[in-house]
Amino acid sequence: MTEVAAAAPVAVADGLRPLHPNQLRVWRLGWALAALALSALVLAAELAAAAVAGAPQLPGPMGTATVAVAVVAGALVWWLPRLGYDAWRYQLGPSTLELRRGVVIRSHTAIPYFRVQHIDITRSPLERALGLSQLVVRTAAATTDARLPGIAAADAERLRDVILARTGRGDAV
Amino acid sequence: MSPVLDVSALGRQLLAPAAVAFSAGGLRLLALGVVVVLVVRVLAWRRRTYVLERGVLRVDGGLLVRSQQLVPCERIQQVNLVQKLRHRMLSVAILEVQTAVGGPGSELRLEVLAFAEAERLRTALLAAKARVVQRRSAAGAGGREEDDVATGADEGDGHVGQDLDVASAGEGVRRPRGPESTNESPQAPPWVPAAWPVLELGYRQLAVAGLTGKELLVVLAIVPATAQLASELPWQPWDDVHLPALDVLGPTLLGALALGFVAVWLAGAAAVSIFANAGYRLNLVGDELHLSRGLLDHHETTLPLSRVQAVRVSASLHRRVLGLVSLRLQSAGTGANTEDTRLAVPILAAADLDRVLALVLTGAGHFPELHRPPPAALRRALVRHVVPVVAVALGASVVVRPWGALAFLAVPLAAGMGIAAYRGLGHALVDGFLVARSGSWNRQTVVVPVARSQSARVQAGWWQRRAGLASLLVDLAGPGPRPVVRDEASGVAEDLMARVMAGVGGAGSVSGAAGDDAVSGAAGDDASPAPGPAPPAG
């Protein structure tokens, strides 16, 4: 861990903060790729059913199922990331990093700065393309699940340093 | 290292090459293979050395790829001395040193050492650790507490020589106090503290543990397997015997057989427990727990008190009726591959629980009164237990026409389990300890020093939110299940998390001492839960 001993805490207004708006695009693009793959699978199945003799007869004209799947998946791709994005908030509290997220299962995680072992910054190709980073905060507990997506790449390192500065004098493992 | 090679390990290593060699070229090649493996083993043994210098244990090894493992003594979580039967016959032992958070790299095995040498090394390691800790505390202007002892006057000698005044609540629990610890000089040489017996278990108690514990199930699984094996023997003497009396005595014989089976079963369960834990002795030596147990395979475990992450008390319904519980100590050092019975108390009278708990969890008083979750939690528990059963019963009654409906008889049973599950819920946060209880048949109570928590999470699923409920999950260092406060009112859960987080310390509260060992707290992070300034008491 870097030595950031008495660094003055960088002035960041405390309060609930949303993720970077581009994170919504990252999720939508990711989901869209999955939806596309699914539609392609259904299309392939339809083509196979039409081509192979003795396969069960399609109920409607060719492509009905594909279109239906594509429409439903498209709607989900539009709405689910929006819900997920709206549910996400993070907060740099006085002594803990707090993450609130989840649509179906709401969760509110608190990680004391004091317990932070190290912080990874990861960037998937999609995130790179949209100028985002993901912070993964690790404690000594393997079960701590503290991924903070949707941080502007420029801010990620600063945020990491802010958190590390608050861990105090840490010569942890 | 002791020149004794572990024969069984050698055997395992030999097996594959031997098979290959034998299939490839018969006996001559086999002999060659054996010789090669032996030579490699001996060379590897000669290469593998260990040395303890300046508070660091260094192990060198590796034949082609040289390796060096370094373990700073203050990072040691747990030291185990294991003697399997074959080791005992040769009077050697395996020394296992567990360091950080678990996982494959966290354990250092010295296999095998002469027994006396292993004991000597263990003492040296723990003494070196105590010395390092002592230096730290001396450097820390005396204000630092190395252990979570409330008062820190004689912390200097690196031991918890202090009286453990759990007794403030009126309980007569006292910690051993080494004679030297009365002189409060921080420069006092590390004394060798006397062993303070926490618990000893005799054969009778161990038998009871086996008869009421999971050993029953284990043996139940083994006995039919043996019977199966016997029935597949090529020669079956009882086939040829035909006694005319058998027809008459049939029912009697059957009854006798059944009785015999039950007797073997119970005796087996008791024996399993006795073999594993005979001579069970849990001592408190300074600030370390020493556990020694085992009839054939002998285990000695040493766990510094400051490494205890949580204590899990479990009691099945029948044990509760008998007033018995079992304990398991969770430490950050229990490696992923180790069986989790390393530091467990297989059986304990419930009346003794407070005493043992106070000794193994510094500062823990007696078991507090638990706060019960709201009635909405009862509805959740009922729904959780009953709905799946109803679904299955519906399916069964549709598929299996006339008799499937009988499955609905299970519904009241499920409802009963739901009610029991609700009754099992409860939590308390007292003096820096979070106590969370759950379970219907097998009731588990986990006691966590909040200062040990790494992070926490309040979580609420869709149905929980509709009922205004949430669960609190606390993350601890090392493997093992996480403590959960289930189905509490969401406001209470949030408040509880805030209080747990406030108890973690660090940041503002322990400015200078903070974070010497953020893993599981050799040092600073333990200072915070001192009962006095501990944030809010439940």
SS3 assignment for B78-105 = EEEEEECHHHHHHCEEEEEEECCCCCHH
Classify residue B490: in a domain, yes or no. Answer: no
Do the bridges between strand B288-293 and strand B298-304 make them parallel or antiparallel, or are there none, so unpaired? antiparallel
Q: Which residues pair with B471 in a beta bridge?
A: B459
**Gap between the Cα atoms of A89 and A100, Å rounded:** 5
**Contact check, Cβ <8 Å, A110/B494:** no
Tokens (6 digits) for B133 = 């800790």
pLDDT of residue A1: 36
CA distance B230 to chain A (A): 46
**Contact check, Cβ <8 Å, A171/B520:** no
Structural contact between residues A121 and A133, judged by C-beta atoms closer than 8 angstroms: yes
Chain centroid to Cα B461, Å, comes to 30
How long is chain B? 538
Comparing CB atoms, the residue among B454, B459, B477 nearest residue A107 is B459
Nearest to A84 by CA among A144, A128, A149, A154: A149
**Gap between the Cα atoms of B206 and B252, Å rounded:** 33
Residues 6+ apart with CB under 8 A from B84: B94, B296, B297
Classify residue B529: in a domain, yes or no. Answer: no
Res. B509 pLDDT band, cuts 50 70 90: very low
- Which residue in the block uniquely carries the two structure tokens 């260094």? B58
Classify residue B331: in a domain, yes or no. Answer: no
Q: Give A-chain residues touching B497 at CB under 8 angstroms.
A: 108, 110
**Gap between the Cα atoms of B346 and B293, Å rounded:** 11
**Gap between the Cα atoms of B453 and B472, Å rounded:** 12
B74-83, B114-123, B360-369: range with highest mean pLDDT: B114-123
Tell the burial category of B394 from Cβ atoms under 10 Å away from its Cβ (0-12, 13-18, 19+): middle
Structural contact between residues A87 and A102, judged by C-beta atoms closer than 8 angstroms: yes
Classify residue B320: in a domain, yes or no. Answer: no
Res. B164 pLDDT band, cuts 50 70 90: very low
Comparing CB atoms, the residue among B470, B482, B515 nearest residue A172 is B515
Structural contact between residues B503 and B529, judged by C-beta atoms closer than 8 angstroms: yes
**Gap between the Cα atoms of B294 and B219, Å rounded:** 18
pLDDT of residue B298: 86
State whether residue A133 is helix, strand or coil. strand
pLDDT of residue B487: 92
pLDDT of residue B319: 92
Contact B468/A at CB under 8 A:
no
Comparing CB atoms, the residue among B460, B477, B501 nearest residue A140 is B477
Classify residue B258: in a domain, yes or no. Answer: no
Structural contact between residues B99 and B77, judged by C-beta atoms closer than 8 angstroms: yes
Tens digits of residue pLDDT in B181-198:
333 344 434 445 677 888
Comparing CB atoms, the residue among A95, A104, A170 nearest residue B461 is A104
Tens digits of residue pLDDT in B3-22:
555 555 666 666 676 677 66
Tens digits of residue pLDDT in B414-428:
999 999 999 999 999
Classify residue B138: in a domain, yes or no. Answer: no
pLDDT of residue B453 exceeding 80, the answer is yes
pLDDT of residue B18: 66
Contact B407/A at CB under 8 A:
no
Chain B window 144-203: which residues touch A at a Cβ cutoff of 8 Å?
A: none
For chain B, count helices (H), then strands (E): 13, 19
B221-230, B337-346, B470-479: range with highest mean pLDDT: B470-479
Q: Report CA torsion sign: B530, B522, B450, B456.
A: positive
- Which residue in the block uniquely carries the two structure tokens 């370390």? B288
**Gap between the Cα atoms of A111 and A145, Å rounded:** 9
Tens digits of residue pLDDT in A75-88:
999 999 999 999 99
Structural contact between residues A135 and A120, judged by C-beta atoms closer than 8 angstroms: yes
Q: Give B-chain residues touching A94 at CB under 8 angstroms.
A: 507-508
Q: What is the mean pLDDT of residues B119-146?
A: 68
* DSSP for B147-210, written as a single string: SS-S--TTGGGSS--S--GGGGGT--------GGGGS--TTPPPP-PPEEEEEE--HHHHHHHH
Q: What is the mean pLDDT of residues B327-335?
A: 75
Structural contact between residues B488 and B427, judged by C-beta atoms closer than 8 angstroms: yes
pLDDT of residue B25 exceeding 60, the answer is yes
Calculate the alpha carbon distances from A82 to A71, A128, A152, B380 in Å.
Answer: 17, 20, 18, 29
Structural contact between residues B480 and B340, judged by C-beta atoms closer than 8 angstroms: yes
Structural contact between residues B501 and A96, judged by C-beta atoms closer than 8 angstroms: yes
Residue A109 or B213, more confident: A109
Q: Give B-chain residues touching A117 at CB under 8 angstroms.
A: 518-519
Structural contact between residues B99 and A172, judged by C-beta atoms closer than 8 angstroms: no
Tens digits of residue pLDDT in B260-312:
888 988 998 999 899 888 989 998 887 888 888 888 888 888 888 888 888 99
Q: Provide Rg for chain B, Cα atoms.
A: 28
Classify residue B428: in a domain, yes or no. Answer: no
Q: What residue numbers bound the domain in which B15 lies?
A: 1-47
| Predicted interface score ipTM higher than 0.90 | no
pLDDT of residue B151 exceeding 60, the answer is no
State whether residue B400 is helix, strand or coil. coil
Number of domains in chain B: 1
Structural contact between residues B178 and B375, judged by C-beta atoms closer than 8 angstroms: no
Res. A59 pLDDT band, cuts 50 70 90: low
pLDDT of residue B515 exceeding 50, the answer is no
pLDDT of residue B169: 32
pLDDT of residue B123: 84
Residue B196 or B437, more confident: B437
pLDDT of residue B160: 32
pLDDT of residue B518 exceeding 60, the answer is no
Tens digits of residue pLDDT in B93-103:
888 887 754 45
Classify residue B298: in a domain, yes or no. Answer: no
pLDDT of residue B244: 60
Residue B525 or B367, more confident: B367
pLDDT of residue A143: 80
Res. B359 pLDDT band, cuts 50 70 90: confident
Structural contact between residues B479 and A142, judged by C-beta atoms closer than 8 angstroms: yes
- Which residue in the block uniquely carries the two structure tokens 């009854």? B255
**Contact check, Cβ <8 Å, A146/B455:** yes
pLDDT of residue B174: 37
Phi, psi (rounded to 5 degrees) for B85? -55, -45
CA distance B516 to chain A (A): 6
